């Protein structure tokens, strides 16, 4: 079910790791950001939009992880944008003939096995490098590109509505997950991304993470500071004072502590 978080901006939360799809109303239709995970949920979202007389005129994938690259036939053939780096990463991933089969095999270990439509995965239109505004007929949407978490990751700032769509950052349930396979200094890339988000935080009233709860008001800066403290703790090799890991982790999310331990070990191996 769609829930309004600001005027003209609605969120649909998936049952799978609290994945958030975001709908932004425009003059001729809606912008659909990271549209969802399970087939029945996206079908429900398409029905909600159709019932409201809305069509999807543009899509956007915040980064090239599989769960942000999905689509449903009922959303139509609108262009699905991503940054140039994101689109290049997707092309490289899908150039392997068994790419979708490997994703499907990975999903067999999850509760969404057989429920994720992969036929329209990753059909991303690359925006020109350095594009700062999303090309669509609606509220101004600023593209804040960075290299934290994944190549060509971007947050979208719906400026007129004060809504920051953060992608896989600023979550209340997931710790920052670094791109340990790519950049030479993943920690500095993450800290740089947080500085970019901090620069707009004063104008943000609502933050929508890729996974987790929507945050409002002071929670925006609080989440930036929590993520920064976590990344600095990783850099220093110490246990972070973070409610998302350890004994204080939310029930059902204890596995995030395993993610944290894995990152500590990987970073120790890089030194």
Instruction: Give CA–CA dist 238/85, Å, rounded.
Output: 32
| Long-range Cβ contacts of 92-95 (<8 Å, 24+ apart) | 93/64, 93/122, 94/121, 94/122
Q: Are 134 and 124 in contact (CB under 8 A)?
A: no
Backbone φ and ψ for 48, nearest 5 degrees, come out as -60, -45
Q: What's the pLDDT at 247?
A: 87
Q: Which residues pair with 71 in a beta bridge?
A: none
271 residues of the chain, pLDDT tens digit each: 899 999 999 999 999 999 999 999 999 999 999 999 999 999 999 999 999 999 999 999 999 999 999 999 999 999 999 999 999 999 999 999 999 999 999 999 899 999 999 999 999 999 999 999 999 999 999 999 999 999 999 999 999 999 999 999 999 999 999 999 876 799 999 999 999 999 999 999 999 999 999 999 999 999 999 999 999 999 998 889 999 998 888 899 999 999 999 999 999 876 5
* Per CATH, domain 3-270 is 3.40.50.300: no
Q: What's the pLDDT at 270?
A: 63
Buried b or exposed e, range 230-253, using 16+ CB within 10 angstroms: bbebbeeeeebebebbeeebeeeb
Q: Are 183 and 147 in contact (CB under 8 A)?
A: yes
The whole-model pTM stands at 0.96
Instruction: Give CA–CA dist 270/247, Å, rounded.
Output: 28
Instruction: Give CA–CA dist 107/144, Å, rounded.
Output: 30
Instruction: Give CA–CA dist 96/214, Å, rounded.
Output: 36
Q: Where are the alpha helices (DSSP H) in the chain?
A: 39-51, 84-94, 99-107, 186-200, 219-236, 256-270
Q: What's the pLDDT at 271?
A: 59
Domain definitions of the chain by residue range:
3-270
Q: Which residue in 12, 61, 21, 16 sits closest to 38, CA to CA?
A: 16
Q: What's the pLDDT at 213?
A: 97
Instruction: Give CA–CA dist 59/248, Å, rounded.
Output: 37
Rg of the Cα trace of the chain?
18
Q: What's the pLDDT at 171?
A: 98
């Amino acid at each position: 079910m769609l829930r309004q978080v600001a005027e003209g901006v609605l969120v649909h939360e998936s049952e799978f790791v609290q994945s958030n799809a975001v709908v932004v109303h425009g003059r001729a239709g809606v912008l659909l950001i990271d549209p969802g995970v399970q087939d029945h949920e996206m079908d429900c979202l398409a029905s909600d939009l159709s019932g409201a007389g809305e069509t999807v005129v543009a899509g956007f994938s915040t980064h090239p992880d599989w769960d942000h690259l999905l689509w449903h036939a009922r959303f139509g053939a609108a262009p699905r944008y991503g940054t140039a780096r994101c689109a290049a990463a997707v092309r490289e991933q899908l150039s392997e003939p068994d790419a979708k089969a490997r994703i499907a095999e990975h999903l067999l270990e999850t509760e969404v096995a057989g429920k994720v439509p992969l036929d329209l995965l990753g059909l991303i239109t690359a925006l020109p490098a350095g594009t700062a505004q999303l090309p669509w007929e609606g509220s101004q949407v600023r593209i804040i590109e960075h290299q934290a978490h994944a190549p060509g990751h971007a947050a979208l700032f719906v400026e007129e509505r004060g809504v920051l769509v953060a992608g896989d950052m600023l979550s209340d349930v997931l710790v920052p997950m670094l791109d340990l396979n790519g950049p030479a200094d993943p920690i500095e890339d993450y800290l740089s991304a947080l500085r970019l988000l901090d620069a707009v935080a004063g104008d943000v009233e609502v933050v929508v993470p890729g996974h987790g709860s929507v945050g409002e008001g002071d929670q925006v800066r609080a989440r930036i500071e929590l993520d920064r403290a976590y990344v600095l703790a990783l850099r220093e090799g110490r246990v972070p004072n973070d409610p998302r890991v350890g004994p204080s982790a939310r029930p059902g999310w204890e596995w995030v502590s395993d993610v944290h331990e894995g990152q500590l070990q990987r970073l120790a191996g890089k030194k």
